[in-house]
Structures are given as C-alpha cells and as structure tokens.
Amino acid sequence: MTRNIIRVFTAIILLFASMGFSRIQSTELLKQMVKFDQNYIPALALTNEGEREPSQKALQRLTKFWENFSVQYYNYETPDTSWQSDVSQITKSIAKANIDMRQNKSLAQIHNDLESIRLTFMNLRKRNDISYFPDHLTAFHGPMEHFLNIINKRKSGSLSETDIRDLSNLYPDIQKLWKTVMKASLPTDLFGFNQQQTKQATDLIKQDGKIIQNLGTALRHNNQTEIIANSKRLKYNFVKLYLMFGDFHGLK
C-alpha cells in the first residue's frame, strides 16, 4: 500500500513538474517570437519604403536572428505536424530575400519574399493555441488592403456604384476583424512598451475603431469624399500601430 501511494505521489510530482517546464518553454518561445517580429517588421517595412541600405541592414539583422531561432525551435515539442515544414518555409523565404538582395533585385520583390512570413507564423500560432496580439493585425491587413485597393484605383468622388457595392460587401468583415483587435489582450510588458507607448497603441486602436464606424456611415450615405478620407486615416493608423512591434534602432 505504502509503495503504491509513493508511486502515485511521484507520478503527480512528475506531472506538475512537466507542466511547469512546458509553461516555461511556452513563455520563452513567446518572448522569442516577439524578438523575431522586432527584427522582421523593420525588414518588411523598409523594403516597402524603398530604402536599400537600411533594408539591407534590417535583412541582415533578421537573418542572423532567424538562424538562431530556427535551430533552437525546429524540433520544438508540439503535436503540430506542420511545425517543422512552416519553420523550413520561413527559412526559404528569408534565404530568397537574401539572394534577391545580393542580386540587386527590386526592394518590392524582396518585400514580396518576406510578406508571407507573418501569415505562416500567424497560422502556426493559431494551430498551437498561442495567443499573440500582432496576429490580429495580420488577419486584418489582407481585407483592409482589398478594401483600399478598390478605392486607390479611383479619384475622390469617382467611385462607381459597383465600387460602393463591393466596399459595402467588404465592410462587415473589416468591422468584425477590428472588433477582435479591440477585444484582444495587449500584454504591453511582453512587448516592452513603456507607459507612453502603451497609451499610443491603445489610442490608435480606439481611433481606428471610430474611423471604421465613420466608414460605415459614409458608405450608407454614399459620401465618397468621407469614404476615401477615412480609408486613408485607417491605413495610416494601422501602419503606425503595426510598426510599434518592430525595433528600428540603428537602421536609419
């Protein structure tokens, strides 16, 4: 009887120990994902802005970080059967960006090489139940760009009836996705935000929520000037918020 009790207690202790170790692993992984974005976002943004020297420096920084990250986490313990293939795909994307940079390809091409990485990481975290605030921004980005592409093809006051209909059809998805952003937890300590940065991020999230409300009103009243103006404000605030998760020190 005594031996059985000892065995049970030993099993319980080992179980709790493994759970604690798992939490430590997950916490450390999350911190490393934050550091990845601090390196990834500048490379993505600067290649989009068309500045080669800072883009090259940012890509070098990203590559160096990813070499360490991929070695450390390629064999991460998870039931996710796509984990390793996703890590390999990100490695290929970064390698392609470096090849294109060395061959002096356009920064637009290099930006395109890097673009899919955030989607790959978003889906990887979703499959592994990893909550990560910037993923909500990534989910919003695609529909927002689709919405803006319709507007950018036209000049102020020249949206067609088809354009208004298409925008109205896209609007509920935009509204729903931003509500998710507004409800999501933003662990500012994880991202190293100080009090000023926390307020800035919170204000930008609220402002875009209000802008999206204004967009809905403008669409209902076919106010094309306001549709275009609010769309530009939405994109401006969104970019400003997303860039807060990158570390641009020493790149410009």
pLDDT class of 124 with cuts at 50, 70, 90: very high
* pLDDT tens digit sequence for 156-196: 568 999 999 999 999 999 999 999 999 999 999 999 999 99
- 9 vs 66: which has the higher pLDDT: 66
Q: Report helix, strand and coil shares of the chain as percent, to nearest 5.
A: 80, 0, 20
How high does pLDDT run on average in the chain? 90
* Confidence at residue 157, expressed as pLDDT on a 0 to 100 scale: 60
pLDDT class of 91 with cuts at 50, 70, 90: very high
Does the pLDDT at position 200 exceed 80? yes
Does the pLDDT at position 18 exceed 90? no
pLDDT class of 95 with cuts at 50, 70, 90: very high
* Confidence at residue 7, expressed as pLDDT on a 0 to 100 scale: 53
* Confidence at residue 14, expressed as pLDDT on a 0 to 100 scale: 36
Enter the tokens of residue 120.
């790959």
Does the pLDDT at position 55 exceed 70? yes
* Confidence at residue 3, expressed as pLDDT on a 0 to 100 scale: 55
Q: CA-CA distance, 123 to 129, in Å (whole number)? A: 10
Enter the tokens of residue 209.
């929520």
* Confidence at residue 252, expressed as pLDDT on a 0 to 100 scale: 75
Distances (CA, A) of 100 to 65, 109, 189: 19, 8, 36
* Confidence at residue 20, expressed as pLDDT on a 0 to 100 scale: 37
pLDDT class of 2 with cuts at 50, 70, 90: low
Enter the tokens of residue 110.
């290099």
Q: CA-CA distance, 58 to 250, in Å (whole number)? A: 9
Distances (CA, A) of 16 to 7, 8, 19, 22: 14, 12, 5, 10
Does the pLDDT at position 62 exceed 60? yes
pLDDT class of 5 with cuts at 50, 70, 90: very low
Q: Average of pLDDT values for 9-19?
A: 38
